[in-house]
Amino acid sequence: MRQRPHLVLLHGWGMERRVFSPWLPMLEQDFHVHSWELPGHGERPCPAAGWQWETELDDLRERLAAVPAASILLGWSLGGLLALALALRGDLRLTGLVLVATSPCFVERPDWSAGIAAQTLDDFARELTRDAQGLRRRFFALQTLGDPAARARMPQIDDWPLPDRDCLQAGLEFLRDIDLRPSLHALPYPVLLLQGDADRIVLPAAAEALQQALPGSVLRLLHCGHAPFLSQPAACSQALREVFLA
């Protein structure tokens, strides 16, 4: 009997691992699935010293080393930015990388039109201090805008505890400041990019740029918004099977 590979899931900003729950029954047919919380989200506390980018990458490396076998790492949105940064460090127990609605640079820059306006994240940061729950609710609505399939499968987020505000603020700063484009290079294992063609947060152009900058990577452009695994779970599962189990 074929051994099921280990698959590690990292969620996005303001979410928690439960966001993957509707997709898990499909994934668990083919993979040993590990869903991890980001700091300050779900049941994982925010570090007393604050959520630091390099410290989090070190922690993820240690956690991957503790998985019983080499893993496929899947990150969505902010989780994808962390997954990509970790993979680019090298020397990991990875057999593959999946980037879902992920950009190497989330914010527009003079030489990068495939990001969102920096003002948008600044507005989010101000809103966070006034109405964090309302901000999260509006951010979730933006993820599923024009995507009724994702909206129907999105768990009831109002029942979830609000993530730690300091970690939410740090996550916004990561999205604003981190630019991995100068570090992009070929990786020694398969890379799958899952991207919605109607994504309002990560533009398809960002995924196309990643495909060009990561030689050999496979891009699946799906008809959906920012959460392809909710909109089209079967198509996402099939893409994983084709890239990693064929």
At 23-62, the pLDDT tens digits run 999 999 999 999 999 999 999 999 999 999 999 999 999 9
183 is catalytic: no
* Catalytic residue flag (residue 199): yes
Q: pLDDT for 107-142, tens place per residue?
A: 999 999 999 999 988 999 999 999 988 888 888 888
Q: Which of 147, 199, 217, 231 is catalytic?
A: 199
pLDDT tens per residue, range 191-211: 999 999 999 999 999 999 999
CA dihedral 31, 85, 226, 166 (to 10 degrees): 110
Q: Which residues contact 62 (CB under 8 A, 6 or more apart)?
A: none
- Number of neighbouring beta carbons within 10 Å of residue 48: 6
Q: Which residue is catalytic, options 77, 103, 217, 237?
A: 77
Phi/psi for 180 (5° steps) reads -90, 0
Question: What is the CATH topology of the domain spanning 6-244?
Answer: Rossmann fold (3.40.50)
> Residue 65: its pLDDT value, please?
95
CB count within 10 Å of CB 118 equals 15
**E strands, the chain, in order:** 6-10, 32-36, 71-76, 94-100, 191-196, 218-222
81-103 b/e (C-beta count within 10 Å ≥ 16 → b): bbbbbbbbeeebebbbbbbbbbb
* CB neighbour list of residue 63: distance below 8 Å, 6 or more residues apart: 36
pLDDT at 172: 94
Please say if the pLDDT value at position 233 is more than 80: yes
